[in-house]
Structure 1
Amino acid sequence: METASTVGDLAPALGSEALRQRLEGRRPAVFLDYDGVLTPIVPRPEDAVWSDSMRRTVISLAERCSVCIVTGRDRQVVQQLMGVDSLTVAGSHGFDIWSPGQGQVVHEALTDFTDLIAETTATLRERLRGLEGVTIEAKHASVAVHYRQATPETRTRVDEVIDDLRDRNRDRLTLVPGKMVYEFTPAIDWNKGKAVLHLIDVLGLTSDDIVPLYLGDDITDESAFRALRGKGIGILVGRPDDPEMAGRTTAAEFVLGSVDDVERFLSNLAR
């Protein structure tokens, strides 16, 4: 049964006896968002490079168990930022999945969205041209509009453009809001949660001795938390006093307060 908690009600994952007991005698399969989990949120997306210590921690963990990156970012961009090609990466909210053992991992529900995304990207570039603090990020199967550095007046203009584009394309595009970002994806029933369940299947992670864990910070990670309810463990990364977490409910069961806490948690798992 689905349940939801406020961020402040979640039990800390670090030092949790309840979490330790659920993992005892079983192998974790770890799914990680990138921005806000493995690296802090930064004003410019291209500057989100993980630390050397986080890189070592994740690689060490991957030697013990399955580790997959599940991100809203373009897959190839994240792989370049990480400088690692030995991890499975699901980019564009799971629309673009690559595994070192299998190459492209394609689900039958996913088709070629090149023309649709190119058209949407061109429209956004034209209508948002010249707006300070606004960045458009074209991806394999989606396009994102970042507005973290924009003024309130500019954000109002961005909202108007986004709302109009959504209303004109309800049968073709889905609007996915995130932390200071809007993203358009193809209008099919697919998200990070479905991508995680697909990866669990194709990577052979379905045995009873495996516990899937998902660590994420964004609203888009909620689909993964919900997908793992009763099957695995969802861990939200964030602080209840963060304005972006205010009033938010989550399907996660545990919480980690920062990227540093994530590194400590993953380091403990790798032992």
Structure 2
Amino acid sequence: MLPAELIGALDVAAATPRLLVTSDFDGTLAPIVNDPAAARALPAAAESLIALADLPDTHTALVSGRALGVLRDLSAMPPSVHLVGSHGAEFLSGFAHDVDETLLGRMVAELDAIATNRPGVAVETKPASVALHIRNASDADGEAALAAARAASTEWDAHVTAGKAVLEFAVIDTDKGEAVDILREQTSATVVVFLGDDVTDEKAFRRMREDDIGIKVGPGDTAAGFRIGTPDDVADVLAYLLAARRS
């Protein structure tokens, strides 16, 4: 059962002239899994997001930390759903800023060395960033890897983002809030709904305006106005919004 206050806000959003519904992918539309390559959107949530995109004056988007190509493959979304990767920096038209390939290569090499001989520590290379994952590592190896990565990063001109069991280093500025505002302008949205679970989603929650709806998924401090528990609740939110928008 969704909170009554959230249902009231969704009813207001459903009646807006031009609606934009945006969501993170991992931990929001898709449950968190140990193998990042195995992440898949909950079918009910994906179906509602796609159906919303097919309604008049309604747009939907995924704004994820994943590289855009990976997000496209894992989400299996049709072209009607906007996709933005790399924590808001990577659009279908390309990156919002120039990519320093030399620095990116250096960071990948140094993080690979840090991950060596630490089972469960993994390095994920993206087009404009590199992420150090410790979800599958022991506490000791994970903390040691993060400490070494933070120390190494003092020599890099990189933007550092801490997430759930991950530390990411980008050679461009990344901001999900900026990405949501770009989508808002492109779609002329009068209300935006954004759902997210991670600390990187807080930049988007802080960009919410009057009548916008920020929904935090799971525990943790947040600037979002509403909170739900799990990706299953995300599916319920999207299903409710779809029904309300149709009516």
Common fold by TM > 0.5: yes
Q: Does 1:233 align with 2:227?
A: no
1:179 to 164, 183, 191: 164
**C-alpha contact (below 8 Å) 2:63/2:84 kept by paired residues:** yes
Aligned residue number for residue 4 of structure 1: none
Which residues of structure 1 form unaligned runs of 5+? Answer: 1-10, 99-103
Letter in 1 for 2:203: S
CA displacement at 1:186 relative to structure 2: 2.3
Q: Does 1:46 pair with 2:29?
A: no
How many aligned residue pairs are there? 239
* Amino acid corresponding to residue 106 of structure 2 in structure 1: E
Task: Determine whether 1:138 maps to 2:129.
Answer: no
Distance (Å, rounded) in 1 between the aligned partners of 2:48 and 2:111: 38
Specify the alignment match of 2:87 in structure 1: 93
- Equivalent residue letter for 1:194: E
Q: Structure 1 residue 82 and structure 2 residue 67: aligned?
A: no
Contact 1:14 1:261 in 2 (8 A): no
Distance of aligned partners of 1:227 and 1:25 in 2 relative to their CA distance in 1, 3 Å threshold = closer
The answer to whether the Cα contact below 8 Å between 2:16 and 2:191 also exists between their aligned partners in 1 is no
- For 1:149, the equivalent position in structure 2 comes to 136
Residues in 1 aligned to 2:147 and 2:40: alpha-carbon distance in whole angstroms: 32
Q: 1:263 to 1:150 in 2, by over 3 A?
A: same
Does the 8 Å contact 2:115/2:122 carry over to 1? no
2:60 to 67, 72, 83: 67
Structure 2 residue aligned with 1:198:
182
Q: CA shift at 1:57, angstroms?
A: 1.9
Q: Distance in 2 between matches of 1:129 and 1:146?
A: 13
Residue 17 of structure 1 and its aligned partner are, at CA, apart by: 2.0
1:264 matched to 2:247? The reply is no
What letter is aligned with 2:199?
A: I
Structure 2 portions without partners, runs of 5+: none
Percent identity of the aligned residues? 33
Cα shift at 1:105 = 5.2
Offset, 1:70: 0.3
Distance 1:270 1:62 in 2: 10
Distance change (3 Å), C-alpha of 1:229 and 1:251? farther
The amino acid across from 1:112 in the alignment is V
1:18 Cα deviation (Å)? 4.0
CA distance in 2, matches of 1:183, 1:14: 35
Please say which of residues 68-77 and 78-87 is displaced more in the overlay. 78-87
